[in-house]
A and B are shown apart, each in its own frame.
Chain A
Amino acid sequence: MAAPAATKEGLRDCRDAWAATIVDLAANDPRIVAVVNDSIGSSKLGGFQKQFPDRLVNVGIAEQCMVGVGAGLANGGKIPFVSAASCFLTGRSLEQVKADIAYAGFNVKLVGQSSGVAYGELGATHHSIEDFAWLRPLTQITVIVPADAWETAEAVKWAAGHEGPVYLRLSRMPVPDLAVENRVFRPGKAETLRAGSDVTLIANGTISHIALAASDLLAAEGINARVLNMATLNPLDEEAVLAAAEETGAIVTAEEASIRGGLGGAVAELTSAHRPVPVERVGFPGFLPTGSVEWLFNEYGLTPEGIATRAKLSLQRSGK
């Protein structure tokens, strides 16, 4: 087992990794195109547009059309990366995502930008906390939630080479790089950020580094937490989750999403069916009040302290 991963200094906006990677890929593969909804700036695709003006399709503010166009471009032999604010990409176009992408099975990469509560003060219409629950039943779509810039770049590269629909759920929230030794991106596999046997913290995206910080707080109290970065939500690494249930007996999930139907939902479904253990789900209960990202994270316990508290609760519930 690798040594516990620490977080490096400095924060990065993962969109920069996305933007640089998609430009590199496009330079080597003429099939790669980008599709947007008046979202060139928020998708950081200005550079792509400059280099490949003919391969950027801006359909205007028309998300249903945008996703359908993605399917059509795939039919025409392209590899479309359809990039828009994740709230509109998934919510507005949900039927297109279901019927035209998942059901029809087109090789389209959906790139959800500014996901979770990145648009804090703009309110519930602009939060994308339901997307996990909406897309999880669409088992044809691989759902990846990168935790840092490195993982974002790797996921974009993997998606380009993978034949099949992918949803990449990105954030504009700056995050630190996770320092994992000899890191390899393995889609569909949980990444162990820290070994531990008392309780398992399972997180993804912007919350993975916070879960890691929570494990430090727990360690200071003599609680040895395992930390898993579950970047792939669909399909879930069932083996890793059941091993966590078996070996640690208590689980906390933490995600920048609704506690219903997302990572917490997936873990609870699986464990309750095969290896029931207490599962504490940290995330959002439903529509959220107005507030900044920082305020919302604090208010709903998406903090090292908040996650550590729920870890102790799950331990208590497990009777260990």
Chain B
Amino acid sequence: MTVENDPVTLIREKALWMRRTAFRMVHKAQLGHPGGDFSAIDVMATLYFGVMNYDPSRPDWAERDRFIMSKGHATGALYTALCAAGYYPEDWLETYMQPKSLLNGHPNRNYLPGIETNTGPLGHGFPVALGIAIAGQISGADYRTFVLTGDGEQQEGSNWEAAMTAGHRKLENLTLIIDRNRLQQGQGTEQTAGLDPLDDKYRAFGFHVEMVDGHDVAALLGLLSASPKGRGKPLCIIANTVKGKGVSFMENQASWHHGVPNAEQFAKAMEELV
């Protein structure tokens, strides 16, 4: 295997580009949710550039694997992933949150190709992903459905309603990934309405649960690309991540949930993101 076709190297390169580009978008718009973008980017780069089957020229291809960004505020991560995946040209990113832009603050499937459903209010993505997975189960289709939620987002009861049915139906084609950065908007999840032990909870709901370092691309790739056939259960991956990952002054700081950089912070972040 050479460096050029080593999937881990490729994913890491894409993730670096996504972080730099997302931060440039947030800096320009002076709006966005960079902390949650950065915690999710390695997971998303792994999915889009190492795991999922899709064709950007046919966004409605029936057999495509589906990705649902339930933590819809992390559009910096989603829009850069879809751009790098070839769904639209890079110059579209320049319009992030400008008047009438297709790159709204939260994703809209009627605006952009590659977006499976509109999100923004937390706790919506998992039930929709469940429906997509059930459709695949009914029709015997081979596609997989991946949904990414925040960890704070897990406080929404709709997730647990979806978990119950997903476990009940033994939906092995469904993968829930939880971005376990341990922070929500205002403070830590465990200081708000604690989630631990999250793995036991999902096990009790009938999931196969894996805990992984959400920035370890090789480990993520191994877990996500393994065939779900015969598992007989939905998969829950608890990705232990760092909010603001990659920029020293942003890491683990709740204030960077929707904090935006000034010129100096932007320059410093660009120096670090190499």
Q: State the A residues within 8 Å of B (CB).
A: 38-42, 58-62, 64-65, 87-88, 91-92, 119, 121-126, 289-292, 295, 299
Q: Say if the beta carbon of B185 comes within 8 Å of chain A.
A: yes
Q: Which of A40, A41, A42, A88 contacts B121 (CB 8 A)?
A: A88
Do B192 and A58 touch across chains, with their CB atoms under 8 A apart? yes
For residue A299, which residues in chain B have a CB less than 8 angstroms away from its CB?
99
Do B184 and A290 touch across chains, with their CB atoms under 8 A apart? no
Do A289 and B155 touch across chains, with their CB atoms under 8 A apart? no
Q: Report B97 CB to chain A, min CB distance, Å.
A: 4
Q: Say if the beta carbon of B227 comes within 8 Å of chain A.
A: no
Q: Contacts A39-B185, A290-B97 given; indicate if A58 touches B29 (C-beta within 8 A).
A: no
Do B186 and A39 touch across chains, with their CB atoms under 8 A apart? yes
Q: Which of B98, B100, B184 contacts A38 (CB 8 A)?
A: B184
Residue of A nearest to B153 (CB): A61
Q: Identify which of B15-23, B44-52, B102-110, B206-214 touches chain A.
A: B102-110
What is the 8 Å Cβ interface bit string for chain B, positions 85-116, against chain A (1 contact, 0 not)?
Answer: 00000000000011111111110100000000
A119 to B121, CA, bound (A): 13
Do B97 and A62 touch across chains, with their CB atoms under 8 A apart? no
Do A61 and B123 touch across chains, with their CB atoms under 8 A apart? yes
B2-55 interface with A by 8 A CB criterion: 29, 31
Do A64 and B157 touch across chains, with their CB atoms under 8 A apart? yes
Give 6 nearest A-B pairs by CB, closest first: A60-B193, A125-B120, A60-B155, A122-B105, A291-B99, A121-B97
Do A62 and B72 touch across chains, with their CB atoms under 8 A apart? no
A61 to B186, CA, bound (A): 11
Q: Say if the beta carbon of B78 comes within 8 Å of chain A.
A: no
Q: Which of B120, B152, B155, B157 contacts A123 (CB 8 A)?
A: B120
Can you give 8 A-B contacts (C-beta < 8 A)?
A: A39-B186, A64-B157, A87-B121, A91-B121, A122-B104, A123-B105, A123-B106, A290-B100
For residue B142, which residues in chain A have a CB less than 8 angstroms away from its CB?
none
Q: Say if the beta carbon of B156 comes within 8 Å of chain A.
A: yes
B238-273 interface with A by 8 A CB criterion: none
A144 to B248, CA, bound (A): 45
A87 to B31, CA, bound (A): 19
Q: Contacts A65-B157, A123-B120 given; indicate if A59 touches B193 (C-beta within 8 A).
A: yes
Q: Contacts A58-B193, A61-B155, A295-B99 given; indicate if A123 touches B108 (C-beta within 8 A).
A: yes
A125 to B31, CA, bound (A): 16
Main secondary structure of the interface of B (DSSP, over half): loop
Do A38 and B152 touch across chains, with their CB atoms under 8 A apart? yes
What is the 8 Å Cβ interface bit string for chain B, positions 126-158, against chain A (1 contact, 0 not)?
Answer: 000000000000000000000000001101110
For residue A39, which residues in chain B have a CB less than 8 angstroms away from its CB?
185-186
Q: Report B71 CB to chain A, min CB distance, Å.
A: 10
- Looking at A40, A121, A124, A299, the one whose CB has the most chain B CB atoms below 10 A away is A121
Q: Say if the beta carbon of B122 comes within 8 Å of chain A.
A: yes
Q: Which of B100, B121, B185 contacts A125 (CB 8 A)?
A: B121
Do A38 and B99 touch across chains, with their CB atoms under 8 A apart? no
Q: Report B160 CB to chain A, min CB distance, Å.
A: 10
Residue of A nearest to B100 (CB): A289
Q: Contacts A122-B120, A123-B120, A125-B72 given; indicate if A290 touches B101 (C-beta within 8 A).
A: yes
B142-189 interface with A by 8 A CB criterion: 152-153, 155-157, 184-186, 189
Do B105 and A60 touch across chains, with their CB atoms under 8 A apart? no
Q: Contacts A38-B186, A40-B186 given; indicate if A121 touches B104 (C-beta within 8 A).
A: yes
For residue A121, which residues in chain B have a CB less than 8 angstroms away from its CB?
29, 31, 97, 104-105
For residue B118, which residues in chain A have a CB less than 8 angstroms away from its CB?
125
For residue B100, which residues in chain A have a CB less than 8 angstroms away from its CB?
289-291
Residue of B nearest to A58 (CB): B192
Q: Report A191 CB to chain B, min CB distance, Å.
A: 34
For residue A64, which residues in chain B have a CB less than 8 angstroms away from its CB?
157
Do B122 and A41 touch across chains, with their CB atoms under 8 A apart? no
Residue of B nearest to A36 (CB): B186
Do A60 and B192 touch across chains, with their CB atoms under 8 A apart? yes
For residue A40, which residues in chain B have a CB less than 8 angstroms away from its CB?
186
Residue of B nearest to A123 (CB): B104
For residue A290, which residues in chain B have a CB less than 8 angstroms away from its CB?
97-105
For residue A42, which residues in chain B have a CB less than 8 angstroms away from its CB?
185
For residue B189, which residues in chain A have a CB less than 8 angstroms away from its CB?
60
Beyond A59-B193, A290-B103, A290-B105, 6 additional contacts (C-beta under 8 Å) are: A39-B186, A60-B192, A125-B106, A125-B121, A290-B97, A291-B99
Q: Report A70 CB to chain B, min CB distance, Å.
A: 16
Q: Report A176 CB to chain B, min CB distance, Å.
A: 25
For residue A119, which residues in chain B have a CB less than 8 angstroms away from its CB?
105
A60 to B194, CA, bound (A): 9
Residue of B nearest to A49 (CB): B186
For residue B72, which residues in chain A have a CB less than 8 angstroms away from its CB?
125
Q: Contacts A38-B185, A38-B192, A39-B185 given; indicate if A61 touches B122 (C-beta within 8 A).
A: yes
Q: Contacts A38-B186, A92-B121, A125-B120 given; indicate if A62 touches B193 (C-beta within 8 A).
A: yes
Q: Report A258 CB to chain B, min CB distance, Å.
A: 18
A195 to B155, CA, bound (A): 51
For residue A126, which residues in chain B have a CB less than 8 angstroms away from its CB?
105-106, 120
For residue B192, which residues in chain A have a CB less than 8 angstroms away from its CB?
38, 58, 60
B67-82 interface with A by 8 A CB criterion: 72-73
A162 to B121, CA, bound (A): 32
Q: Which of A60, A92, A123 contacts B184 (CB 8 A)?
A: A60
